[in-house]
Amino acid sequence: MDYSINCSINPITLMVAHSSPLNPSNTLELTLILENGITTTVTVTATPRNTYPMISLGYINITPNLWNLNTASSSGYASMVYDASQGALYIHVNFTKVYLNQQVGVAAYSEFIYGYKPWGTLTSEAGGFNFPVKLTELGSLLSFINYSLISYSPQVAIFDWAYDLWLTTSPNLTNGPQPGDVEVMIWLYYHLQQPAGFPVANVTVPIWVNGSLVNETFEVWIGSPQIEPGTHAIVSFRPTNPIPRGLVGVNVTKFLQLAVNYLVTLYPSYWNYTYLESKYLNGIEFGSEWGNPSTYNITLNWVIYKAYLIKVPLESQGTVTVTYTTTVTSTMTVTSILATTSTVTTTSTLTSTVTATSVSTSTVTQTLTTSIVKTVIPVYYTATIIVLLIIIAVVIALAFARRGIRVRLC
């Protein structure tokens, strides 16, 4: 039986690229899929006789990557097809027999790659999106994927839909990760699939789902945390609410920071911040791990309608404080010879300090206006009036004196 997802296969056209970053003028955006410059269909197919085919597709490389397939016992194929008429990338898996070399559940990771892969693969790159890059120089990196799970069978097949990120001490590995290196996986969907290692915590991380910011809970799994020959550490984030389709965005930098924190906090005898922050993020990989250790057959179909990266450069990071000068304006209006109205208006803007290391930060300002109205009789006006009254009294007294009338002034 083929398990089809009950949903439309039409692409989601919702765009949220510039509604999330701190300041659109400081961000860089790179579209990975769709490829406007490619007008013909591009296909790459892997079989037990050809397990690692790879082809360039604009800025990315695509590969079915049958890395753990037992080629002698398996039968079938996995292909990745870029349909230029739709601008969409399809993943098709059809194996009647799928057996593994290492008993880790999955036979392959059918994926696209941007940047560097620690087995020596380097894709074309765009300015501002160069890999490998040190964690301390990464800035805030976001990734958005618009995808849909089309169908799968049988029910016992296992698969996921995930990012695979490599943190390595060396920026130019050609033979894979080394002891002390870290693999970080961010899962968006899974079916009967379990990450490597064991669960150590749950963490709530904001992600974007179809244009809305959602606080998603992820299980944190850690495998091989000890630095030993022949191994590398694995930190996986598996969502408690798998998302089979939609436009989903994650803050890659945030997940990398969380992975570093968990390793340092839980295994301080092996890991420290200085050591981990000196590592290089090799690139961005995204795709589907799949297999079937139960009945040894699988069909699986995914589609990616759009994939793009957004980056807030490092120079836009850090603590930002905005300061405003408080101004006091005083106005005086003469309403009569005896009184004036004085209005004093004070405007103050509250400032906030933000740390621009995540996309959800913002500056909050509030304006307070206080008006004070006073009615006053200025001193110089009072003195003038008294003098005038005295002069008038003297004039009157003189007038009466001429008529022979004595007037007592006081």
CATH of the domain at 214: 2.60.120.180
Q: Which residue has the higher pLDDT, 20 or 88?
A: 88
338 and 372 fall within a common domain: yes
Domain that holds residue 336: 319-377
Q: How far is CA 188 from CA 165, 183, 243, 393, in A?
A: 14, 16, 6, 97
Among 8-12, 28-32, 395-399, which stretch is predicted with the lowest mean pLDDT? 8-12
What are the pLDDT digits (tens) for 37-55?
Answer: 788 999 999 999 999 999 9
Residues 208, 358: Cα–Cα separation, whole Å? 13
306 and 409 fall within a common domain: no
Whether residue 410 is predicted with pLDDT greater than 60 in this model: the reply is: no
Residues 276, 259: Cα–Cα separation, whole Å? 10
Residue among 112, 50, 58, 40 at smallest CA distance from 80: 112
366 and 388 fall within a common domain: no
Q: Sorting pLDDT into bands at 50, 70 and 90, what band is 212?
A: very high
Helix, strand, coil share of the chain (percent; to 5)? 15, 45, 40
Residues 336, 375: Cα–Cα separation, whole Å? 11
Residues 253, 134: Cα–Cα separation, whole Å? 12
Once rounded to an integer, what is the mean pLDDT over residues 146-166? 99
Domain boundary residue among 274, 291, 316? 316
Domain boundary residue among 271, 291, 316? 316
Looking at residue 237, its pLDDT comes to 99
Looking at residue 239, its pLDDT comes to 99
- Matching residue, tokens 């509030």: 366
CA 371, 376, 378, 381 torsion-angle sign: positive
297 and 332 fall within a common domain: no
Looking at residue 94, its pLDDT comes to 99
Instruction: Write the burial class of residue 27 (CB in 10 Å: 0-12 exposed, 13-18 middle, 19+ buried).
Output: buried
| Whether 114 contacts 309, CB under 8 Å | yes
Residues 297, 244: Cα–Cα separation, whole Å? 21
Looking at residue 403, its pLDDT comes to 58
Residue among 65, 94, 83 at smallest CA distance from 9: 83
Strand partners, 108: 290
Whether residue 326 is predicted with pLDDT greater than 90 in this model: the reply is: no
| Whether 131 contacts 125, CB under 8 Å | yes
Share of the chain above pLDDT 90, in %: 68
243 and 369 fall within a common domain: no
DSSP 120: T
Whether residue 396 is predicted with pLDDT greater than 90 in this model: the reply is: no
Whether residue 170 is predicted with pLDDT greater than 90 in this model: the reply is: yes
Looking at residue 392, its pLDDT comes to 77
Looking at residue 294, its pLDDT comes to 96
Decide the pairing of beta strands 182-191 and 233-239. Answer: parallel
**Total number of domains in the chain:** 3
Cis peptide before 34 (omega within 30 of 0): yes
Once rounded to an integer, what is the mean pLDDT over residues 6-18? 34
Looking at residue 389, its pLDDT comes to 73
12 and 122 fall within a common domain: yes
211 and 161 fall within a common domain: yes
Once rounded to an integer, what is the mean pLDDT over residues 180-193? 99
Looking at residue 390, its pLDDT comes to 74
Q: Sorting pLDDT into bands at 50, 70 and 90, what band is 179?
A: very high
Q: Which residue has the higher pLDDT, 313 or 128?
A: 128
Whether residue 347 is predicted with pLDDT greater than 70 in this model: the reply is: no
Whether residue 57 is predicted with pLDDT greater than 80 in this model: the reply is: yes
Looking at residue 364, its pLDDT comes to 29
Q: Which residue has the higher pLDDT, 23 or 363?
A: 23
212 and 345 fall within a common domain: no
What are the pLDDT digits (tens) for 229-273?
Answer: 999 999 999 999 999 999 999 999 999 999 999 999 999 999 999
Q: Sorting pLDDT into bands at 50, 70 and 90, what band is 160?
A: very high
Show the tokens assigned to 185: 């996986």
Looking at residue 108, its pLDDT comes to 99
302 and 333 fall within a common domain: no
Strand partners, 371: 345
Once rounded to an integer, what is the mean pLDDT over residues 90-107? 97
Whether residue 405 is predicted with pLDDT greater than 70 in this model: the reply is: no
H-assigned helices in 145-216: none
145 and 72 fall within a common domain: yes
- Using DSSP's 3-state secondary structure scheme, residue 386 falls into helix
171 and 254 fall within a common domain: yes
Q: Which residue has the higher pLDDT, 305 or 381?
A: 305
Whether residue 79 is predicted with pLDDT greater than 60 in this model: the reply is: yes
Domain boundary residue among 300, 316, 332? 316
Whether residue 104 is predicted with pLDDT greater than 80 in this model: the reply is: yes
Looking at residue 400, its pLDDT comes to 60
155 and 228 fall within a common domain: yes
Show the tokens assigned to 180: 């002390």
Once rounded to an integer, what is the mean pLDDT over residues 317-327? 34
Residues 209, 38: Cα–Cα separation, whole Å? 28
Looking at residue 267, its pLDDT comes to 98
